[in-house]
Copies of this chain bind each other. A is one copy, B any other.
């Protein structure tokens, strides 16, 4: 019982940036790490074999409690023996709590002290999500990293509204912790239990810092979250309309104050530039739908900026998406072919662009880690950012 559920080993630091290894019950994860988003149990447009292959080598992916709880439902996942076995993925899984996605439903949900009532987008049925339900669901899924059930305030929420939301989050965090701890004592609650050397094999639980754009609320939220004590700490409630300037004020203030011995996770962020900025403040973990979603709409991320594959200028362009990229798509296919696939509505366009985009994000993080280890992260970041501005050329 004294073994931790997860353990971060910081291997190198460069300013506030840090490179390390996160030991989980389902393998080691080098940090800073980007986690592809597998909303409903699938990272859209890509097979698990490719996520594992050296091109990508994603060590951890994210699943959405909200989506999976509604469909296929927890009974189905439990019948399969947990989410890993249901989807066929034996590496680490982080699940969010459903809090953010229920909050995103806007007028369709009603928040009370007890939890959040909402109508399912799948069948219109009335559902209720609370800290306890979220912990139950994440245990039944057997996620390796569980997120507390939190409440998000709008990016521009005024002080009083943001304070109330932050305080509700703090109370829900405590309730999440209590229920989570109880579930970890039960024999069969956690479907993903898998003892590893020097790890308990239990689930890890991360707290979430809220407080909108108000730095004093953010600091208080961090303090109250740390008092509860979690295996890792996340910054939530950003990328929700507050603007980049505010986001970096919050991250720049809060990330360095988070416990150095625990992983720090910036939720739902962001572009390649965003990842580098956040890393410079000491963030270790990221997730974002950008590489997959933009892949499906014909946008490629490249070392020279974004590239719109629909553009007529690529009609006969035999170059790969990114001449600096070594991924299987760039080794094989031209912009001209990818454009053709996109224009004819071939599924393969989404498949290939998604693969390349994920390869670019994951390779960028690999290079970030190397640069921190060799002590030249600032130089790497400056050169990387300058190239991005070349804009697709």
Chain A residues at the B interface, C-beta cutoff of 8 Å: 40-42, 44-49, 67, 71-72, 75-76, 79-80, 86-88, 315-316, 318, 328, 332-334, 336-337, 340-341, 343-344, 346-348, 350-352
Given known contacts A45-B348, A76-B316, A340-B71, A86 and B40 CB-to-CB distance under 8 angstroms = no
Taking CB as reference atom, which chain B residue is nearest A48?
B332
A347 x B344 contact (CB < 8 A): no
Docked Cα-Cα span, A48 to B71, in Å, equals 32
User: Which of A88, A350, A352: most chain B CB closer than 10 A?
Assistant: A88
| Residues of chain B contacted by A80 (CB below 8 angstroms) | 316, 318, 334, 336-337
A-B contact pairs, 5 of them (CB 8 A): A47-B348, A67-B344, A347-B347, A347-B350, A347-B351
Closest approach, in angstroms, between the C-beta of A44 and any C-beta of chain B?
6
| Residues of chain B contacted by A71 (CB below 8 angstroms) | 340, 343-344
Copies assembled: 2
**DSSP class of A's interface residues: helix, strand, loop or mixed?**
helix
User: Which of A42, A76, A79, A350: most chain B CB closer than 10 A?
Assistant: A42
A76 x B336 contact (CB < 8 A): yes
Docked Cα-Cα span, A87 to B76, in Å, equals 41
Q: From the candidates B42, B333, B337, B347, name the one contacting A44 in the complex (CB within 8 A).
A: B347
User: Which of A88, A315, A318, A344: most chain B CB closer than 10 A?
Assistant: A344
Q: From the candidates B40, B318, B352, name the one contacting A344 in the complex (CB within 8 A).
A: B40
| Residues of chain B contacted by A46 (CB below 8 angstroms) | 348
Docked Cα-Cα span, A281 to B374, in Å, equals 68
